Amino acid sequence: MKKNFCYGLTALLTMCFSVCVLAQQKTIFTTANKKVVVYTTADSTNYRLSQTATASFSPAVQPLETQPSIFVDPSHSFQTFLGMGGALTDAAAETFAKLPAAKQQEILDAYYNTDKGIGYTFARTNINSCDFSSDTYTYVKDGDKNLSSFNLSHDEKFKMPLIKKAMQSSGNKLRLFVSPWSPPAWMKTNNDMLHGGKLKEDYADAWANYYVKFIKAYEQKGIPIWGLTVQNEPMATQTWESCIYTAEDERDFIKNHLGPTLLKNGLQSKKLIAWDHNRDLLYHRASTILNDAAAAKYVWGIGFHWYEVWNGGHQYENVKRVKESFPDKNLMLTEACLYPFSWQTMSQWKWGETYGENILHDLNNGAVAWTDWNILLDETGGPNHVGNFCFAPIHSKSDGSLHYMNSYYYIGHFSKFIRPNAKRIISSSNRAQLQTTAFRNEDGSIAVVVLNETPQRFAYKLFIGSQAVDATSLPHSIQTLVIE
């Protein structure tokens, strides 16, 4: 009798545990009393993040194959979204400083205000100079291996004031990560900050300490640092600041120098991001570093860029491959921009669609954050000390006027409505022409993004279970449908 009782109790507890687990895995969502507000940006219209429709759910039956449909399922959730943003470079800061006060406030509202703008919560800035600087600079005197001459006076003129204003405008919710383009020339094999070269082994510890000096100096100036990347584009020999690390080089630098140095100095909570280059070699770099436990223990995640199109197209699936293989590590896009700069091509609709497609695929493949390149550039696509001019979502002219590219609005369809700590949920389309992703925010609202890069107009139904709403996707458009 005692044996049967124990058996029955065990079975009951097992059943209760299973129900609890299922309850945790499934998120209950009802469409009752919910409305859908549709925001649209579309080519050949005046719609720019414009509210274009409202709708309510009603009972719906099994759709036919001939009926375009999008199926949202909140009961299955995936990665937690951390946010989106753009880089606060020297170029952005110098351009910002030349604007009248009212235009400066417009920029801050456009990016960091969730009501007036698109609600950025991420930012990136450069350690030492990068191409989007007006000059080449470091923070120490030549040969100062002990870094006793470390001084941030260069950044205090333009860059740090902009960063502080951006943080304040975001309600101090801005996560800032920092990236070096090159160590000082005297630490490198080519004795040049530009044109690639490698870090000299004798200076590995000094260079690791350089990150610590930078982070602590910024924080002493009232600018908290969320994370850091090891090296911007470590496989590219550029005409601007650059430094080469093979996968093994980066692994060993993290394992033997940077990771232990951050730990020794109490900075182990800073998010250390490896790679910071294109999706083409993403899996190779991630697997080389993350399959080594002694290096992987220091790494929060893998950063990537989108510039692999030069070799045949975007390789979105490589993001998914890394997430599948290393599910406990994070993925985020750390840089993206469009080029070459030209006022004659600025209004082409393809620019916004490039952003929409990339962001959507990266989120669906597991990215937790997405950070654009310069938030602001001048009328030349700079300043840039090596002439590597490109587009930014907003440009200013010498007369103080601001010009918004369609990319600004495409980014906003994600960043404005998908808020930090949202969970990605299922959104599935039965039309290749209608690309989609969806997230459930902490407040319970759902943001569904629908991207249409074709010249076709689609009337479609958005389903949640047996309830649906009618919607229309305009040619060359992006929509965010907010269910609340």
Name the class of domain 83-419: alpha beta
- Let me know if the fold of 35-79+425-483 is the same as that of 83-419: no
Q: Tell me the sheet residues that pair with 471.
A: 460
Structure tokens at 117: 């703008």
CA-to-CA dists, residue 338 to 74, 352, 381, angstroms: 34, 10, 10
233 is catalytic: yes
Residue 290 burial (CB count, 10 A): 21
pLDDT value of position 6: 41
Backbone angles phi, psi at 53, to 5 degrees: -165, 155
This prediction's pTM: 0.94
Give 10-residue mean pLDDT values along the chain (484 residues).
41 36 57 97 98 98 97 98 98 98 98 98 98 98 98 98 98 98 98 98 98 98 98 98 98 98 98 98 98 98 97 95 98 98 98 98 98 98 98 96 98 98 98 98 98 98 98 98 98
Q: What are the domain boundaries of the chain?
A: 35-79+425-483, 83-419
pLDDT value of position 16: 38
317 is catalytic: no
pLDDT value of position 28: 80
Q: Tell me the sheet residues that pair with 271.
A: 227
The answer, yes or no, to whether the previous bond of 383 is cis (omega within 30 of 0) is yes
pLDDT value of position 174: 98
Kindly tell me the sign of the dihedral angle through the C-alpha atoms of 220, 226, 230, 236: negative
Residue 40 burial (CB count, 10 A): 24
Fold of 35-79+425-483: Immunoglobulin-like (2.60.40)
pLDDT value of position 53: 98
Q: Which of 241, 250, 308, 335 is catalytic?
A: 335
Q: Which of 233, 250, 308, 353 is catalytic?
A: 233
